[in-house]
Structure 1
Amino acid sequence: MSEIDAAQYRVAAMPYYRPVGNETELYEAAYAARMPLILKGPTGCGKSRFVEHMAWRLDRPLITVACNEDMTAADLVGRFLLDLNGTRWQDGPLTVAARIGAICYLDEVVETRQDTLVVIHSLTDHRRMLPLDKKGELVAAHPDFQMVISYNPGYQSLNKELKPSTRQRFGAMAFDYPLPEIEAEIVAHESGVAPAQAAKLVQMAHRSRNLKGHGLDEGISTRLLIYAGRLIVQGIPPAEACRMALVRPLTDDPDMQDTLDAAIDTLFG
């Protein structure tokens, strides 16, 4: 792979990310050591944005894979394809990342089958090698290559849990929703909504998060707050924006919707 090929995976403009602690310094140290990393935290709290920001900050290509239960090892590593000229090999995203020295980010990795995930093992220990068995090639990872995976611990189950043999190849960073004043700052910046409205949206989020495990699997994410803020900026009344962007995506339970709608009326009525 040439440098021109790698350029298409670079993050062109700085993605906005508001640090809430020393996470950027920790990541930079992990990258300097080429330590594989697990990012774990609730839905929509900024894990993917953080990886994008760090790839830009470190000036490294970023290849992101959205994991799912149907993904096979060939989807990650590559496969032979048949075209008009015959059979040719097509590298998968993991192989491309290893060749060009990209950060390879596997998002929601626990959605992937365990037999698929085994292919990353040789890249995440001292070997830093990727065997392409079907092609008969052993790819040595570029010195700048790093593996990053993420998942939401709240959705883990016995069927969706990282094996110790995988987990213990990584360092880990825990993410959560920011403190209210920081989250309001993020929502205002990303959506363009007024700071006072952003603060109310964050209050709504905290009310929903207090219901986690009491009718809700997950509270309102920072991502959804930004959506609501953008609707408000478009002229939608705040209460309607909240119902559309915050409540209806979160739950189909009529009683829970009524509870959240009442909270919206209290804050924005």
Structure 2
Amino acid sequence: MTSTSTTRTVAFFGATGGVANAILVHTLLSGHRAVALARTPSKLRDQLTSQGLDAATIDGNLTIVPGNALDVASVKKTLLASSPSADGGDDFPTHIVTGLGGTPSLTFDWCHPGHIATLDNPTICETAAKTLVTALREIHAERSLRTSQKPLLVFVSTTGISRGVEDVPFAMRFFYHQALAIPHVDKRKMEDVYRSEMEKGEGEGVFRNVVGIRPTLLSGSVDYKDAKGLEGLKVGTESKPALGFNVKRADVGHWVYENVISPNGTGKWEGEMVSLTS
């Protein structure tokens, strides 16, 4: 089910990351409203101004809430921070975008010598997912939201953790699964939290629907203009994944905006785990 409104209100978690940041920029430049939870609001604002967004666009369309995405109270405050709608009612987010992830570092384990990448917080994605679901359940209990009022969730995940067909090219498969095994455990558990909500019966889950985004290895900076263009992007699903080696963060963010957030989107990708590569 797609939202019938032409104006979106999008809640962002992890908006200082490259993919979610690009989605946020396109959302703001298209005139939609956004609210973002950020541990350091000045960092997010600086990122936006460095990409050419003016103060009028930022101040007029974006609310930045200081806080932590692992804290239920902060997440609830973000979800309820939208400006009043034109008719004077509450303007609950039509969409939620989460692009949270830990800070990677190198490690070595004699028992698992191939597991060379770890995270500063190895459970951040799973914990944030559970926190978001808990916050929404509390809000739903307080407000009794209809299914049509529930938000569409877009979460940024990764290739290499598919429940279905292998989505990593053969040439890099062994290294990819070994080197990224620790971060992938967290991403898989995050997906399980969100997909379990999607798989519940009609009206039982906290989301209207879910779209999982699985990019290949991400490249490029936190700048929506650091892109190759959507015409070179390959798109797949869990049952028929797109295989490739890398993709620009800005291209992933642009694709998500145009195909999932934008009122021009058809709803085609709702309920899918979408693989993206160049």
TM-score, normalization: structure 1? Answer: 0.30
TM-score, normalization: structure 2? Answer: 0.30
Larger Rg: 1
